[in-house]
Amino acid sequence: MTDTAASQHPAPVPMGVAVYGLPRSGTTLISDLLTVPGHALVISEPDMYKAWNANIARRVHALAGSVGIDLPGGIPQSADWNGAYSNYIRDMLAPRLASFDLWGIKCVDFSDWRRTFADFPPGKLVLCLRDLRDTLLSGIDRISRMPLVFRSSGTRRDEAWVFSALAYNVWELMAMRARPHYAVRYEAVAGDPAVLDGLARYVGLERLDPTRNNLAAAGWRRRWEVEKHGDAITAASVGRFAREPEGPIRALAERLWRLLPEYSEAFNYDTPEADQRIETHAFRPREPGQNPVRFLDTENARWSGPPGIEPAFARRRARAIAARNIARAKRVIDLGGGSRALSGLLPKGCEHVLADNAARSDDLRVADIFGGTLPKLDDATLLAALDVLEYVEDLPHFLGALREAGRPALVSYHATDDSPGTDRSALGWKNALDRAAVVAAFEKAGFSVTSRFAFDGAQSLFRLRVG
């Protein structure tokens, strides 16, 4: 084995192709199509410059074996490669892949792409694209279906993470597109086989292979996707935004689209009109070519987010304070909850039940919550409605249904007293009540109210009790 750590500047090792795209834009399918046993291997998410990950080492070892590469020594160990997976790829994998027609990597993590391209310059670049609104909605679905909510206080996979990570990735993708590339639009793959024929020609392969090698090597953790779509992107996953009902998740998807119109313009997607665009925001660059979002911030659950009211971050803060006020509840039903992020904050032994207005996972309770139709609630010991009331048009009807459940509730709300100057309609909010009016609405519905006003400077938390 060569000790590459001894060299400060190892020679670049060319690779045939790099596949990059936003999460949920079809990158895994493309990497699998480009993985042809005996001819081509595209490694999904090798995380070459991050802390050594034993799961990735096992996955890549299994993937290499599935395409006919014999790797001596078994699953690689961190100590053998100075803790750097890039060393393993350079000195073990790359020489054995030299006999293949093509090899490369696939990433949705853009944080190290410049370093990657310097160390492993790609001969071809494939960019995977999707309508930004559909991409965000699919991202929320993903974290609802997969175990991506952690109890660690340092990491939170929630709507705020999806929103800010996508913003970071979009600006990196806009920089990357200056390089020669082949664009693969998610929507076109579902309806135009010629796109994949063109992809094969672009990278120099005689054929693509539908075998899901990368998914298999990962232990089929995303089997639900294959069950839904088979071995392809289908029409079932196109036009997701058009089917999303009104509520905070739809509003967040639209907000991202309005915030980053350059992406839609560059890749020929439906683009917001000039008066719809968000021009003043911390996620917009001050200088051309600048990425205004820091990658490490997006990964930090303690990050308060951009200045001003950003609903996904407001919901993150509401969940945190609500969880601290839940002590003896046995089963919390999270109304309009979006993701499962609250579950990672609840006290030990407290069951979390997610309810929303769209079927984001198989065990989610679906109802027209923002229209005032609530799901079964009689098995709850506590109800939560965080970042929900603002999106309810008929608030008395909703509160009446909540009162009828006969359970205590924790709800949050941005009273107008504490959020002056906020363009509530631009955020998708349907009502505008001050502190006194919202408390009066609770009391009129039959609740006794304990209030903590403006706990984060802009929103309040209310404990509602029956009687």
Residues 223 and 367 in one domain: no
**Tens-digit pLDDT profile for residues 175-225:** 999 999 999 999 998 878 899 999 999 999 999 988 888 777 776 555 545
Residues 220 and 320 in one domain: no
What sign for the dihedral angle of Cα 117, 120, 123, 129? negative
**Tens-digit pLDDT profile for residues 356-381:** 999 988 889 999 999 999 999 999 99
Residues 227 and 326 in one domain: no
Q: Is residue 154 part of a domain?
A: no
Q: Is residue 202 part of a domain?
A: yes
Cβ–Cβ under 8 Å, residues 459 and 418 = yes
90: left (phi over 0), alpha (psi -120 to 50) or beta: alpha
Cβ–Cβ under 8 Å, residues 422 and 414 = yes
Residues 338 and 190 in one domain: no
Last residue of a domain, one of 236, 251, 267: 236
Mean pLDDT (whole number) for 296-308: 91
CA–CA distance, 351 with 360 (Å, rounded to integer): 18
Q: Is residue 17 part of a domain?
A: yes
Number of domains the chain is built from:
2
Q: Is residue 165 part of a domain?
A: no
CA–CA distance, 397 with 409 (Å, rounded to integer): 16
Residues 459 and 335 in one domain: yes
Residues 104 and 229 in one domain: yes
Q: What is the CATH number of the domain that holds 81?
A: 3.40.50
Q: Is the entire prediction scored with pTM above 0.85? A: yes
Residues 207 and 353 in one domain: no
Q: How far is CA 237 from the centre of its chain?
A: 16
Q: Is residue 425 part of a domain?
A: yes
In which domain, by residue range, is 317 found?
Answer: 311-466
DSSP states along 168-233: HHHHHHHHHTTS--EEEEHHHHHH-THHHHHHHHHHT-S------HHHHHTTSTTHHHHHHHTTS-
Q: Is residue 302 part of a domain?
A: no
Residues 230 and 331 in one domain: no
Q: Is residue 150 part of a domain?
A: no
Q: What is the CATH number of the domain that holds 438?
A: 3.40.50.150
Residues 229 and 320 in one domain: no
pLDDT over threshold 70, residue 11 = yes
End-to-end CA distance of the chain: 73
Last residue of a domain, one of 171, 201, 236: 236
In three-state secondary structure terms, 104 is strand
Q: Is residue 143 part of a domain?
A: no
**Tens-digit pLDDT profile for residues 67-109:** 999 888 889 999 999 999 999 999 999 999 999 999 999 999 9
**Tens-digit pLDDT profile for residues 413-458:** 999 999 999 999 999 999 999 999 999 999 999 999 999 999 999 9
Residues 231 and 331 in one domain: no
Last residue of a domain, one of 210, 236, 262: 236
